[in-house]
Amino acid sequence: MARLIAEAVKGNEMIRANALSAPRQHQGPEKDLLERTARTAIERCAERMLTDMEWIAVRARLLEFAAVLRDWVRNERRSAR
């Protein structure tokens, strides 16, 4: 997890690019709860509070990872048919 945070915050250009490309699928209270829970978990692993810019970068990386997992599950389901 520390590596994820370090990679996510090493450059402002990457932070801006990831923040702009991050999809927003959930809206409203559910999205807010998911984000608060994820941020709290990341901050506990990092043993410190993240700045808003750090969180934007980490959030984008988490969304990218979730997309990879989602694609993997879809491919597994297709190959099982």
Contact between 10 and 58 under an 8 Å Cβ cutoff? The reply is no
Residue 3 pLDDT greater than 50, yes or no: yes
pLDDT at 5: 52
pTM beyond 0.75: no
Q: What is the pLDDT of residues 13-37, one digit of tens each?
A: 444 444 444 455 556 888 889 899 9
What is the Cα–Cα distance from 81 to 77, expressed in whole angstroms? 7
Neighbours of 18 (CB within 10 A): 18
**Rg of the chain over all Cα atoms, to the nearest angstrom:** 14
Residue spans of the domains in the chain: they are: 2-22+29-80
Please report where in the chains the tokens 């979730």 appear, as a residue: 66
What is the Cα–Cα distance from 20 to 72, expressed in whole angstroms? 24
Q: What is the pLDDT of residues 35-47, one digit of tens each?
A: 999 999 999 999 9
